[in-house]
Amino acid sequence: MELGKDSLETKTEYTFGGTLKSTFSAHPKIDPAVGTLYNIGYSLNTGPGDLAVIKCKNDGTVMSKIHRPPLPGLKLYHDMAISTKYLIVPVIPYGVINNPIALLKFVVGMASFGTEMRWHGDLPSYFMIFDRETLENVATVQVPTFSSYHTCNAYEQEDGTLSIYLAQHRGDREKLEAKFRDVFHSVYQPEDDCDVIRYDLSTRDWTFRTRTAVSSCALSMEFPVINPSYLGKPFQYYFSPALRQPGYFHVYQKVNVVTGNVLTYDLPEGVYGNECVFVPKASAGSNTVVSAPSDEDDGYLLACLYDGNVHGGGLLILDAKTMRQEALLSMPNPIPFHFHGTFVEDVV
């Protein structure tokens, strides 16, 4: 949507000049060097479940290609990652799969996507790999079954390894989705959320090599973020909200994916957090192209909070290097959980 600069009033639906022919996920990735935006969505002009891979240049032009993923039916495509050469889409066995009646009910409007989706743990998961320049599908690699919503990062190594980091669920996907159907009344357990797992694929023969948890000390988490300057490159840290005990996110953590070390910041009792945004202290003064600071963790974490003690909202600012509080700003109204955000340095 296009919003007014000062009023934030909704002006019109933005379709990239009518060139966008698909849905548009909530997790686009922006190349930090040149500002090109990549995303995924559902094709609106072909069969149900067809995947649209999208590339948006700085001039507003859109290039997209439609692909038919493995696994029949309508899967949940939620997030993706980019490396220097590739765009990576996890395909998990969650959706309307091998159920033509449920798929028909969704297509004709008799049921919602969410009520008809099911977890199929007997089926494998895949990574679909696309060339970032052409958006052609260069490989589809089968991997052990996993459940995930969000990626963390990806990069290529000199030995031909493509390393993909994502937030992988610890527990039962069906139980988690049942809680999501009553999101504001559910109590979340550490086993409901995730660990960051690294998957290594060979780009020489496009085979699965290994998967490894990046830290044995990290808390159960979701919504991992990194310094955006390191998107698609080797990196050292991710940041996330986390759980020590049942409830909702009440900790923020900084995890070193090389050493496994963890730094944490605990919220006061009755105060809960959500996804944070990393803002580098040094930037290029642009909304899209970011220059790296001297240290990867030289920046701030911004997070919207809910204070259950007063039914109010707040904006937390942490120093990403030390995980110490820099500021806590009160807001007159709470912001709903599960909203994604971004940082805009200047509104044009």
Q: What is the pLDDT along the chain (348 residues), one digit of tens a residue?
A: 788 877 888 988 887 878 888 889 999 999 999 899 999 999 988 877 899 999 998 888 899 999 999 888 888 899 999 999 999 999 999 998 878 787 778 777 787 767 888 999 999 999 999 999 999 999 999 999 999 999 999 999 999 999 999 999 999 998 998 888 887 788 899 999 999 999 999 999 999 999 999 999 999 999 999 999 999 999 999 999 999 999 999 999 999 999 999 999 999 999 999 999 999 986 534 444 444 456 999 999 999 999 989 888 999 999 999 999 999 998 888 877 766 778 877 654
Q: Is residue 286 part of a domain?
A: no
User: How many Cα atoms sit within 13 Å of 222 on the Cβ side?
Assistant: 23
> What is the torsional sign of CA 328, 334, 339, 343?
negative
In a domain, 275, yes or no: no
Residues 6+ apart with CB under 8 A from 313: 304, 305, 306, 307, 330, 331, 332, 333, 334, 335
Place of tokens 């094709």: 43
Report yes or no on 121 lying in a domain: yes
CB-CB contact of 232 with 82 (8 Å): yes
Token match 């995303």: residue? 39
Q: Which of 98, 118, 116, 120 is nearest to 107 (CA)?
A: 116
Positive or negative, the Cα torsion across 329, 334, 340, 343?
negative
Partner residues linked to 279 by β-bridges = 300
Asked whether the beta carbons of 342 and 277 are under 8 A apart, the reply is yes
Q: Are 89 and 78 in contact (CB under 8 A)?
A: no
- Quick check: is 99 in a domain? yes
pTM comes to 0.92
313 located within any domain: no
Quote the pLDDT of residue 2.
83
Give yes or no for a contact between 51 and 43, defined as CB atoms under 8 angstroms apart.
Answer: yes
Res 94: pLDDT: 94
Amino acid at residue number 22: S
Residue with tokens 């990652």: 81
* Cβ–Cβ under 8 Å, residues 232 and 83: yes
End-to-end distance of the chain based on CA atoms, in angstroms? 15
Q: What is the pLDDT of residue 346?
A: 65
Domain containing 135: what range? 2-213
Question: Cα separations (Å) of 239 from 125, 126, 165, 264?
Answer: 26, 26, 13, 10
Q: Is residue 220 part of a domain?
A: no
What pLDDT score was predicted for residue 338?
A: 66
Residue 151: name the closest of 127, 177, 118 by CA. 127
In a domain, 346, yes or no: no
Q: Is residue 66 assigned to a domain?
A: yes
Contact (CB, 8 A) for 116 and 96: yes
Rounded to whole angstroms, the Cα distance separating 39 from 53 reads 6
pLDDT confidence of residue 221: 97
- What H or E segment, with its residue span, contains residue 317? strand 312-319
- The span from the CA of 63 to the CA of 56, in Å, is 6
Give the pLDDT confidence score for residue 205 in this predicted structure.
Answer: 98
DSSP symbol at 15: -
pLDDT of 294 = 63
How many domains would you assign to the chain?
1
CB contact at 8 A, 130 and 60? no
HSE of 220, CA atoms in CB hemisphere, 13 A: 17
pLDDT at position 104 is 78
Q: Which residues contact 158 (CB under 8 A, 6 or more apart)?
A: none
